[in-house]
Amino acid sequence: MREVFRNELDELATQLVDMSTKVLDSIRLANQALRSNDLELAERVIEADAKIDAMQHTLDQQAAEILALQGPIASDLRAVIGALRMSASLERMGDLARHIAQQVRIRYPESAIPKHFEPTFLRMGDSAEKIAEATENLLNNPGLSMVPTINAIDEELDELHLSVFAQLADAPAEDLAPRHIADVTLLSRYYERFGDHAVSVSQKVEYLLTGNWEPYLSRK
């Protein structure tokens, strides 16, 4: 029975890796769609989000069955609860990639990014891809080495998010229509939250490995 239980936990871990891979694919495509104003790519991201949602549903259902049938305790219980919470964060990252793609679709055939904001969103997109790659790496090779990397990239995204508002404040009023302000505000928020959810995943992994919740509490 114990071997069966261990296999079930391993399956949850595998599903989390698979979800993180799908999230990485989605944010990469969403960035490409945004940069090139490619409606076809945007539609692919939007459609692919349903697969991530389905993966979360499957994982959560299996985790619930483990809780009900196996009655895990101590570290095993933390692993199952952690998997549930990480799947929620990964699903939300997929949603945010979809939101970026939807913004492309809403503005098409015009670009969702005003010309003078392009360098900032290029950097935000690059950072989002890096943090998604680090998250996939973390889940595929559980350990603490990726945690500082994820935290550092998240700080980059936070700073870029704030810089968008500084650019909006400094931009001549005649250069920005209300839709431009709405677009860059929403897109910036999507990227910033994408990073936050990656940090949430890393915090759960760190807790599972160390039993220490202080890093999480210190960020509140």
Q: Does 215 fall in a domain?
A: no
Q: What share of the chain has pLDDT > 70, as a percent? A: 93
* Nearest CA among 94, 90, 79, 19 for reference residue 204: 79
Kindly tell me the burial class for residue 19, based on how many C-beta atoms sit within 10 Å of its own C-beta (0-12, 13-18, 19 or more). buried
Residue 6 confidence class, pLDDT cut points 50, 70, 90:
confident
| CA separation for the pair 134, 163 (Å, rounded) | 24
CATH number of the domain residue 105 falls in: 1.20.58.220
- pTM metric for this prediction: 0.92
Give, in degrees to the nearest 5, the angle at Cα 69 between 64 and 73.
85
Report the pLDDT value the prediction gives residue 36, as an integer from 0 to 100: 97
Q: Does 16 fall in a domain?
A: yes
**Count of the separate structural domains present in the chain:** 1
Mean pLDDT of 33-46: 98
Q: Does 218 fall in a domain?
A: no
Is it the case that residue 1 has pLDDT exceeding 80? no
Boundaries of domain holding 111: 1-210
The SS3 of residue 15 is helix
Backbone angles phi, psi at 110, to 5 degrees: -80, 160
Q: Does 191 fall in a domain?
A: yes
| CA separation for the pair 90, 20 (Å, rounded) | 6
Is it the case that residue 185 has pLDDT exceeding 90? yes
Tens of pLDDT, residue by residue over 42-82, are 999 999 999 999 999 999 999 998 888 776 667 788 888 89
Q: Does 107 fall in a domain?
A: yes
Q: Does 220 fall in a domain?
A: no
Report the pLDDT value the prediction gives residue 220, as an integer from 0 to 100: 46
Q: Does 216 fall in a domain?
A: no
Report the pLDDT value the prediction gives residue 42, as an integer from 0 to 100: 98
Q: Does 219 fall in a domain?
A: no
Q: State both tokens at 186.
A: 């929403």
